């Protein structure tokens, strides 16, 4: 099946040549003697190898009266109706197997008409996904129950949030047998990282494990050498954030994360949002005290440290309506977002950490955690600050996300320990952590402003000791064993 008529002819010719391989006049004469003169030595291929658009059918004209113009449009896109072209196969449920290498095309490279059609007829095709989603979804429709399906595609669908609907399709329709991670530059003319999947169309609830394999060395004409590196229960992908297919996951890591998931998420108890975006920093940010009556003290992401921040005398001229009028891209937020105690979290994953702000700073390039409007807020934000800065939650974050910047949805998905403040022992541990975080906030500030080596050494020892107490308490709150703690510590 190909949109290019020339490619269809070349494929037919190649197959005919393959069938004639090792044949000569003698063997062909012998075969001719075995069959009647009206029986062709080579089978016709026009009913098997066809030209057409795999994704667009005559439903392109649904609700439209056929005219010369609309008929020409169908011809121009080479609309293809699978039930008409392959009636016998579709009648018995579909194809036994489908393999392929679909084109990789981002939506912005498609015509507006094509995008509208694909958005209407393919659930997995989103504004930021790829055309190969449609090929995969179409194959699902054409494959019979228990049929096998394998494509080589870009690796992006395994993790990117724009492909979540595609991953949901796999989890709901298929038993995923194998995911093969391919070396870079498999295709000479395309700089794209690729993988191969092998699945069976099966809606049953039977448990299955996905084999994750890699290829040793370069691909050769004699065939690749595969190495199985792990088996992952398919049920694991039902629990990952946005159903990400994390092929690097290990049973030990997943066991720890399962234990940590028993508690509520940050986003279920708190509002997670970004700091302000002025739209034009050169106009609205400055270092002159008293320049405008609407000036507010500002912290940038670089000013926020682990359990600390340092204000460098910068102000934001906070006039939301003027900011939006000046630049539609401005996102100033609202004063209530800033004018309350809050947890500030750096937006870079390389330095996943945060601090507690009780002085109502306005912030940019920082994520903010504040109480929701509802009454679901139960934990002190200083308690949450200790959890966010712990090796345990950093381990969870880094084993779940591979992005460069921390996103609100990601931060909101992180689990807090499963404690109940109505239970006296849990309330005691909660309050103990709040006290230790308070101590850390004071110590880190004093350490930053210390003037002598002896003072810095004394304060550093106190910071290290308090930090270790916080980390151990957080491990206890999550219920991690010494073996699990060792694995977390080893991943630092």
Q: How many Cα atoms sit within 13 Å of 37 on the Cβ side?
A: 0
The secondary structure element, H or E, covering residue 224 is none
What residues have CB less than 8 Å from 129, skipping those under 6 apart? 107, 157, 162, 163, 165, 166
416-455: b (≥16 Cβ within 10 Å) or e: bbebeeeeeeeeebbeebbebbbbbbebbbebeeeeeeee
The pLDDT of residue 188 is 66
Angle at which helices 453-478 and 391-398 pack, to 10 degrees? 70
* Fold of the 266-490 domain: Adenine-n6-DNA-methyltransferase TaqI; Chain A, domain 2 (3.90.220)
Give the residue with greater pLDDT, 353 vs 29.
353
Contact 403, 446 (CB under 8 A): no
Q: What value does the mean pLDDT take over residues 207-212?
A: 78
pLDDT at 222: 57
pLDDT of residue 76: 77
Q: Count the alpha carbons within 13 Å of 120 in the hemisphere toward its beta carbon.
A: 12
pLDDT category at 185 given cuts 50, 70, 90 is low
Q: What percent of the chain is predicted at pLDDT more than 70? A: 90
Q: Which CATH number fits domain 86-248: 3.40.50.720, 3.40.50.150, 3.40.50.300, 3.40.30.10?
A: 3.40.50.150
d(CA 247, CA 261): 20
428-472 per-position pLDDT tens digit: 999 999 999 999 999 999 999 999 999 999 999 999 999 999 999
Average pLDDT (214-226) is: 60
**CB of 265 closer than 8 Å to CB of 416:** yes
Q: What is the rounded CA–CA span in Å between residue 256 and residue 391?
A: 13
Contacts of 397 (CB under 8 A, 6+ apart): 349, 352, 410, 414
174 bridge partner residues: 201
Flag whether pLDDT at 267 surpasses 90.
yes
Instruction: Look at residue 393 in the predicted model and tell me its pLDDT.
Output: 97
Is the separation of the CB atoms in 215 and 182 below 8 Å? Answer: yes
> CA 117 to CA 101: how far, in whole Å?
22
pLDDT of 133:
95
Domain extents in the chain: 1-46, 86-248, 266-490
Residue 131 or 64, more confident: 131
CA atoms within 13 A on the CB side of 100: 16
According to the model, what pLDDT value does residue 377 have?
A: 59
More confidently predicted of 29 and 206: 29
Q: What is the pLDDT of residue 209?
A: 80
Summarize pLDDT for 99-127 with one digit per residue, the tens: 999 988 999 999 998 999 899 999 999 98
Give the three-class secondary structure for 134: helix
Tokens representing residue 95 in the block: 């194809």
Residue 16: what pLDDT?
77
The overall average pLDDT reported for the chain is 88
Q: Is the pLDDT of residue 169 over 80?
A: yes
Q: What's the Cα-to-Cα distance from 353 to each of 304, 406, 418, rounded to whole Å?
A: 9, 10, 21
The pLDDT assigned to 61 comes to 66
Give 294 or 3, the one with higher predicted confidence. 294
- Is residue 316 predicted with pLDDT exceeding 60? yes
Full DSSP string of 278-306: -S-HHHHEE--TTS-TTEEEEE-GGGEET
Exposed, middle or buried by CB within 10 Å (0-12, 13-18, 19+), for 355? buried
**Confidence check: pLDDT of 217 > 60:** no
The pLDDT, as a whole number, for residue 127 is 86
Pick the closest to residue 417 from 485, 484, 478 (CA basis). 478
Provide, rounded to the nearest whole percent, the portion of the chain with pLDDT above 90: 62
Could you tell me whether strands 174-181 and 209-216 are parallel, antiparallel, or unpaired per DSSP bridges? parallel
Distance, in Å, from the CA atom of 116 to the CA atom of 413, rounded to the nearest integer, reads 33
The reported pLDDT for the residue numbered 264 is 95
Taking residues 297-322, what's their average pLDDT?
A: 96
Range with the poorest average pLDDT among 148-162, 214-228, 372-386, 441-455: 214-228
Q: How far apart are CA 366 and CA 388, in angstroms?
A: 14
Q: Provide the pLDDT for residue 13.
A: 86
Q: pLDDT at position 210, please?
A: 84
């Amino acid at each position: 099946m190909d949109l290019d008529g020339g490619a269809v002819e070349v494929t037919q010719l190649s197959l005919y040549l393959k069938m004639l391989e090792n044949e000569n006049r003698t063997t062909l004469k012998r075969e001719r003697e075995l069959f009647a003169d009206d029986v062709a030595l080579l089978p016709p291929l026009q009913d098997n190898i066809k030209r057409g658009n795999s994704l667009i059918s005559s439903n392109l004209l649904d609700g439209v009266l056929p005219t010369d113009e609309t008929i020409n449009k169908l011809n121009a896109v080479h609309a293809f109706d699978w039930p008409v072209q392959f009636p016998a196969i579709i009648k018995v449920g579909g194809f036994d197997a489908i393999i392929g290498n679909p084109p990789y095309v981002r939506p912005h490279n498609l015509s507006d008409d094509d995008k509208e059609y694909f958005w209407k007829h393919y659930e997995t095709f989103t504004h930021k996904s790829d055309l190969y989603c449609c090929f995969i979804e179409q194959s699902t429709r054409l494959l019979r129950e228990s049929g096998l399906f394998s494509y080589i595609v870009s690796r992006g669908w395994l993790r990117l949030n724009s492909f979540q609907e595609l991953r949901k399709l796999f989890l709901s329709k298929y038993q995923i047998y194998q995911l093969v991670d391919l070396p870079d530059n498999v295709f000479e003319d395309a700089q794209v990282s690729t993988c191969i999947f092998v699945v069976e169309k099966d809606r049953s609830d039977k448990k299955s494990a996905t084999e994750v394999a890699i290829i040793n060395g370069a691909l050769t004409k004699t065939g690749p050498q595969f190495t199985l590196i792990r088996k992952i229960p398919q049920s694991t992908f039902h629990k990952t954030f946005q159903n990400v297919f994390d092929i690097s996951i290990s049973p030990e890591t997943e066991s720890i994360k399962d234990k940590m998931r028993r508690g509520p998420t940050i986003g279920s108890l708190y509002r997670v949002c970004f700091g302000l975006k002025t739209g034009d920093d050169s106009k609205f940010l400055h270092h002159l005290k008293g320049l405008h009556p609407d000036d507010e003290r500002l912290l940038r992401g670089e000013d926020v440290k682990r359990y600390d921040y340092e204000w460098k005398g910068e102000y934001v001229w906070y006039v939301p309506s003027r900011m939006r009028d000046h630049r539609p891209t401005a996102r100033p937020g609202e004063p209530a977002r800033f004018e309350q105690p809050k947890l500030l979290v750096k937006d870079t994953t390389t330095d996943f950490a945060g601090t507690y702000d009780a002085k109502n700073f306005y912030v940019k390039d920082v994520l903010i955690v504040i109480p929701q409007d509802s009454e679901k807020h139960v934990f002190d934000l200083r308690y949450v600050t200790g959890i966010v800065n712990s090796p345990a939650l950093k381990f969870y974050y880094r084993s779940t996300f591979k992005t460069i910047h921390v996103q609100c949805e990601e931060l909101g998905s992180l689990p807090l320990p499963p404690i109940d403040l109505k239970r006296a022992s849990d309330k005691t541990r909660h309050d103990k952590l709040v006290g230790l975080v308070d101590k850390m906030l004071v110590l880190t500030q004093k350490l930053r402003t210390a003037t002598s080596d002896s003072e810095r050494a004394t304060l550093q020892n106190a910071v290290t000791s308090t930090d270790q107490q916080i980390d151990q308490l957080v491990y206890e709150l999550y219920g991690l064993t010494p073996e699990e703690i060792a694995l977390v510590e080893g991943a630092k």
